[in-house]
Amino acid sequence: MLFAADHPRAVLLASQSGGFALPVCDHYSGTPPRMRKSLQLQAELMQEFGRCVADVTLDCEDGAPTGGEREHAHLVAELALGAAPGQRVAVRVHAPQHPRFSDDVHIIVGRAAGRLSHVMLPKIDTRKTLEQALQAIDAAGGAALPVHALIESPLAVHNAFEIAGHPRVQSLSFGLMDFVSAHGGAVPASAMEAQGQFSHPVVVRAKLAVAAACHAHGKIPSHCVVTEFSDTQALVQAARQAGRELAYTRMWSIHPAQIRPILEAFAPEPAEVDLAVAIIEKAHAAQWAPISHQGVLHDRASYRYYWQVIERAHQSGHALPASQRRWLDGHAVADASRDASISPPN
């Protein structure tokens, strides 16, 4: 993504790789009624917030019925093509090692590559596996598509830095349940629970490794699910711990009721947003030279932090003054215009 020369991201973050921002929430659905409901809810949230605050990922890996994988893939392609301009629709295909992976890619990427925001690749253990999957995606017409990789095993955690460094990778997600299962019973089932996943040292170490790999390469770390979807308090606590203790900036949702709590949990505190706006406005007026604000010296190092506070606020639906929206909404309009220009194939 290109930015104007005076844009805060161009001035402050030009040396960092990436240059993109993703919605805070990544909502997964797999059955036909839930996929349709998810897209409808996404459209409603876009109307409310004026931008896309939650991706919708249509799931083949866990959503497709056994024996009905091809039909499910065709439905996913149709739903993606039918989404409104500005909606961010992704797909999680079967793992590259799965016999249905090729069908998923051929059908969904082949038909809807121009309408997908990205492809989620599960079971990516090595850079070689990633590159093999990308070859299939590119052959189906998805050479321009970014990919997200799901880190679900001890081997994948070991290789997370190498995987995150691939230029096509936009985000890494941590797959909690498969990671625990990969230890052959050596990690207890309690480590898959809302709070157990933040106390078991093996799981916490893996989460930190995935987040560190992402930040090292300017990619987005996405936190795993909370399966206790009816326990809002547990979800909020998990989301806050993921964002404030483990350095995650995005999180999976598996139930519509989880989306708003995730947005709220990952949003900066209002007082911090107000401070960030004041500092960035003053810095911009000073052409990014050092300033003093409330008796504290600030320069480009702290400007970077406070600009990212503003970006996080925007991504989580926080209302911002016009002075900041002009830098942020312009990219939302550009993205929407790009999506509107994509015509589904006949």
State the Cα–Cα distance between residues 176 and 191, nearest whole angstrom: 9
What's residue 11's pLDDT? Answer: 85
pLDDT for the residue 336 = 33
pLDDT at 10: 81
Query: pLDDT (tens digit, 0 to 9) for every residue of the chain, 346 residues total?
Result: 556 667 887 888 765 544 458 999 999 999 999 999 999 999 999 999 988 999 999 999 999 999 999 999 999 999 999 999 999 999 999 999 999 999 999 999 999 999 999 999 999 999 999 999 999 999 999 999 999 999 999 999 999 999 999 999 999 999 999 999 999 999 999 999 998 999 999 999 999 999 999 999 999 999 999 999 889 999 999 999 999 999 999 999 999 999 999 999 999 999 999 999 999 999 999 999 999 999 999 999 999 999 989 988 888 888 788 878 788 865 433 333 333 333 333 3
Q: Among residues 216, 243, 266, which one ends one of the domains?
A: 266
Give the domain-ending residue among 266, 294, 311. Answer: 266
The reported pLDDT for the residue numbered 312 is 87
Pairing of strands 296-298, 291-293: antiparallel
Enumerate the β-bridge partners of residue 298. Answer: 291
Instruction: Please indicate, yes or no, whether residues 299 and 150 belong to a single structural domain of this protein.
Output: no
Q: Which two tokens stand for residue 15?
A: 């040396």
Residues 139, 44, single domain; the answer is yes
Residues 6+ apart with CB under 8 A from 278: 293
Same domain, 187 and 153: yes
Same domain for 120 and 187, yes or no, is yes
Residue 342 resides in a domain: no
Q: Could you tell me which residues come within 8 angstroms of residue 317 by beta carbon, excluding any fewer than 6 positions away?
A: 49, 51, 53, 263, 267
45: left (phi over 0), alpha (psi -120 to 50) or beta: alpha
Determine, yes or no, domain membership for 109.
yes
Same domain, 76 and 149: yes
Query: For the chain, what is the domain count?
Result: 2
Q: What pLDDT, on the 0 to 100 scale, is given for residue 305?
A: 93
Q: Considering the domain boundaries, does residue 293 fall inside one?
A: yes
Q: How far apart are CA 239 and CA 139, in angstroms?
A: 37
| Domain identity same for 253 and 201 | yes
Judge if 172 and 277 occupy the same domain: no
Q: Tell me the one-letter amino acid at 307.
A: W
For 246, the domain range is: 25-266
Same domain, 304 and 215: no
Q: Is residue 301 part of a domain?
A: yes
Query: Do 101 and 123 have their domain in common?
Result: yes
| Same domain (yes/no): 192, 174 | yes
d(CA 138, CA 113): 10
* 144, part of any domain: yes
Length of the chain: 346
| Residue owning tokens 């709220």 | 264
User: Three-class SS of residue 298?
Assistant: strand
Is 99 among the domain residues? Answer: yes
| pLDDT computed for residue 316 by the predictor | 84
Q: Is-contact 83 55, C-beta < 8 A?
A: no
Asked whether residue 105 falls in the same domain as residue 191, the answer is yes
CB 191 within 8 A of CB 197: yes
Q: Is residue 215 part of a domain?
A: yes
Largest CA distance in the chain: 67
